Amino acid sequence: MKNFTFQNPVKIIFGKNTIPQLAVEVPQGARTLIIYGGGSIKRNGVYDQVFEALKGRAIFEFPGISANPDFETCLKVIDLIKKENIDFLLAVGGGSVIDATKFIALASQAEGDLWEILTKNKYPEKALPFGTVLTLPATGSEMNSGAVITKAETKEKRVFGTPLVFPKFSILDPETTYTLPTEQIANGVIDTFVHTTEQYLTYPVGGALQDYFAEGILKVLVKNGEQAMKAPENYEVRANLMWASTWGLNGWIAQGVPEDWATHMIGHELTAFYGIDHAQTLAIVLPGLLDVLREEKAEKIIQMGERVFGISDGSRENRIDVTIQTIDSFFRRLGIGTHLSNYGLGKEAVQKVVERMKERGWALGEHHNITSEVVEKILTKQL
Amino acid sequence: MKNFTFQNPVKIIFGKNTIPQLAVEVPQGARTLIIYGGGSIKRNGVYDQVFEALKGRAIFEFPGISANPDFETCLKVIDLIKKENIDFLLAVGGGSVIDATKFIALASQAEGDLWEILTKNKYPEKALPFGTVLTLPATGSEMNSGAVITKAETKEKRVFGTPLVFPKFSILDPETTYTLPTEQIANGVIDTFVHTTEQYLTYPVGGALQDYFAEGILKVLVKNGEQAMKAPENYEVRANLMWASTWGLNGWIAQGVPEDWATHMIGHELTAFYGIDHAQTLAIVLPGLLDVLREEKAEKIIQMGERVFGISDGSRENRIDVTIQTIDSFFRRLGIGTHLSNYGLGKEAVQKVVERMKERGWALGEHHNITSEVVEKILTKQL
């Protein structure tokens, strides 16, 4: 096991009818800005529950945070924060709303070129405090200190992270997910699945507990993913998916073990160029990446096959093949295509991503050997 | 899954050669009191590492915290704290030292009858901040906010807990455990094992992830427990045991599921009356308790048998029997007796514990149905 230092102070409030606890968790007297997305929270009643809990408080709101939240919109929110002397933020939504809120919490306290927070990790010394009400289980953003922000102007998708942007609390009510479109459920399951494999499908370092935890998350997704789409109001299914998605990226399963994240980094470019949903890009990239890197990831792929999918027969090569095929078919059973052609893309998309990788000079993955040439091989397999 | 609210802010610093990080973690300028036990940290070099890391600081020390740390000794430490204006505590040792430090951290800030902290949950508004250097993996105290303190005078063992006594940081260096006596390793494995079953062997509520995590901890213990005794300097084995023991009682596996804790409460009385090691009392009580409560715990016992021990053949009753026997024989293979007679105790010990249970009027367990009569049945099975 590798050495590590980690702390995750996020307070989790989980379960049915937990949104009223905002009345206790949002500081009394705070001028609070509620940040949300496109209006689904108005249709599913979450918006009303939030406002009911905070009745009589100094509340402001900023709707309209989009998927793959953009830097430019965040700047508008920061203007509002300064104008209204906001001192607490409440993100109500999924990972995009929470990620935007994290950036806004930090950037609102910074001076100078705010884009350098994302390109040069230039962080101010403090951030505005904020809480979250999660309505879309997927990114784990509700219990971590990272976020992804896109510059719409240049189609650049960037990641940042600092303990300053751990939420003070996150409210997770599985019933808020009953009304999600099936495609968003599927995306969330795949996002969590690939978060987990990024921290698990590398090489063995003897982190037995971390492996069991990661495999537990994957088994929950495999068992409940399709069920969630078929039976939207099954509380147990939705509760397990919601809790698993938080654990997929709250940091604990990564401690003491290697991490990959190449699937995410390659996928981000497909989203930035073509607007493909984040999870869809992961579903495209992961099967190809595992096939191209099958030798260096062999032990963990075989372990995952055996422990998550029960694949224990056949030769080493055969077990690797079947495990990758099983992952691929799981994604497809959720209704998410695993090939570029499913999204109307071809060789030119491969070239565009490869060119950007070249520009960046990145060498991704746990062995830092996924260069632009390797990315080309991976995406070509997934044409 | 049940609703829950939880937060665990402890910073974990895990791995080889991590004790020097005390230089960063202990606040500069703090008047720091180092609290430790019987001197094993002097023999294994941990004491020297701690003092080297804190060279030049205002350091005080209080040695001599015993197993099952007593209220009376804690009062002496509090006198020293007041006399020397101590403002930071550092626990160096196992669960007993850390538990004592938690009580001291809290009680040193309280007024009045300090025993009421333990009997009436009368907590002050703040506690002295403290960190820990863990040298004996067992109790999980390094990453939780509870502790057990014994009044030597009346042989009363009491539990308390408040978020005020979460450690600020805990340093976990598996190499510090190489020199532990095999009996202490065995005790630590059993302590962690029973912490986990207290939060897992109840009744199903659909907490799939919690179950997988608990089963992961149990599998790590079963795989590494005996190995640790045979090969004391196997880093991987010691690292996995240390990390599993933290997870056995850092609170996360209990969230959203029922908890039992009857084995602990019954075992505490055996320790209080007869000085039997805490883990030994758990090894005595658990097999008897599972047998007596086999009907209400049936589903989870069968699940544990299958997933942890691979027991999948036979009738329902047979699977329950074999699972309980397998737990019992695991404890005995670690060299820990599971019957009162192994410790020279007989029926009079059963009566003494039963009498105390009657006095307390407790009804223990996840269904609050383990009355003194049930305790008598459990302990009689384990004569």
Query: Average pLDDT, whole number, for chain A?
Result: 97
**What is d(CA A62, CA A120) in angstroms, rounded to the nearest whole number?**
28
Q: Which of B18, B212, B245 to mutate to test the interface with A (most CBs of A within 10 A)?
A: B212
Report, in this order, helix, strand and coil percent for chain A, each rounded to 5.
Answer: 55, 15, 35
Residue B341, pLDDT > 90, answer yes
Å between A153 CA and nearest CA of chain B: 39
| One-character DSSP codes across A176-218 | GGTTS-HHHHHHHHHHHHHHHHHTTSS---S-HHHHHHHHHHH
Q: Which of A7, A10, A221, A224 to mutate to test the interface with B (most CBs of B within 10 A)?
A: A7
Torsion of CA A196, A200, A202, A204, to 10 degrees: 180
Nearest CA in chain B to A11: B7
Contact A5 B16 (CB under 8 A): no
**What is d(CA B335, CA B189) in angstroms, rounded to the nearest whole number?**
11
| One-character DSSP codes across A282-323 | HHHHHHHHHHHTTTTTHHHHHHHHHHHH----S-HHHHHHHH
What's the pLDDT score for residue B253? 98
Nearest CA in chain A to B8: A9
A11-176 placed in CATH 3.40.50.1100: no
Nearest CA in chain A to B255: A14
CB B57 within 8 A of CB B27: no
Which residue of A21, A213, A256 is in closest CB contact with B216? A213
pLDDT in tens, A79-138: 999 999 999 999 999 999 999 999 999 999 999 999 999 999 999 999 999 999 999 999
**What is d(CA B96, CA B141) in angstroms, rounded to the nearest whole number?**
9
In chain A, where the domains are located: 11-176, 182-381
pLDDT in tens, B228-254: 999 889 999 999 999 999 999 999 999
What's the pLDDT score for residue B198? 98
Residues B369-376: contacts with CB under 8 Å, at least 24 apart: B369/B296, B370/B262, B370/B289, B370/B293, B374/B292, B374/B293, B375/B266, B376/B350
pLDDT in tens, B46-73: 999 999 999 999 999 999 999 999 999 9
B182-381 has which CATH code? 1.20.1090.10
Q: Which of B145, B243, B307 to mutate to test the interface with A (most CBs of A within 10 A)?
A: B243
B152 compared with B155, residue with greater pLDDT: B152
Nearest CA in chain A to B217: A209
pLDDT in tens, A227-242: 999 988 999 999 999 9
What's the pLDDT score for residue A157? 86
Type of residue found at B143: M
Chains A, B: CB contacts within 8 A come to 127
B176-207 in b/e burial notation, b at 16+ Cβ within 10 A?
A: bbebbeeebbbbbbbbbbbbbbbbbbbeeebb
**What is d(CA A61, CA B179) in angstroms, rounded to the nearest whole number?**
59
Residue B356, pLDDT > 90, answer yes
Contact B209 A224 (CB under 8 A): no
Compute the average pLDDT of residues A296-310: 98
Percent of chain B with pLDDT over 70: 100
Type of residue found at B117: I
**What is d(CA A314, CA B297) in angstroms, rounded to the nearest whole number?**
38
* E strands in chain A: 4-14, 31-36, 58-62, 88-93, 130-134, 146-151, 156-161, 169-172
**What is d(CA B23, CA A81) in angstroms, rounded to the nearest whole number?**
39
3-state SS, residue B157: strand
Residue B157, pLDDT > 90, answer no
Which residue of B3, B7, B209 is in closest CB contact with A217? B209
Contact A1 B255 (CB under 8 A): no
**What is d(CA B294, CA B305) in angstroms, rounded to the nearest whole number?**
13
What's the pLDDT score for residue B381? 98
pLDDT class for B155, splitting at 50, 70, 90? confident
pLDDT in tens, B170-179: 999 999 999 9
ipTM of the complex: 0.97
| One-character DSSP codes across B26-72 | SPTT-EEEEEE-SSHHHHSSHHHHHHHHTTTSEEEEE--PPSS-BHH
Query: Average pLDDT, whole number, for chain B?
Result: 97
Residue A39, pLDDT > 90, answer no
Report, in this order, helix, strand and coil percent for chain B, each rounded to 5.
Answer: 55, 15, 35
Here the tokens at position A293 are 């890197």
Compute the average pLDDT of residues A272-297: 97
- In chain B, what residues touch A212 (CB-CB under 8 Å)? 212-213, 215-217, 219-220
Here the tokens at position A172 are 């997770």
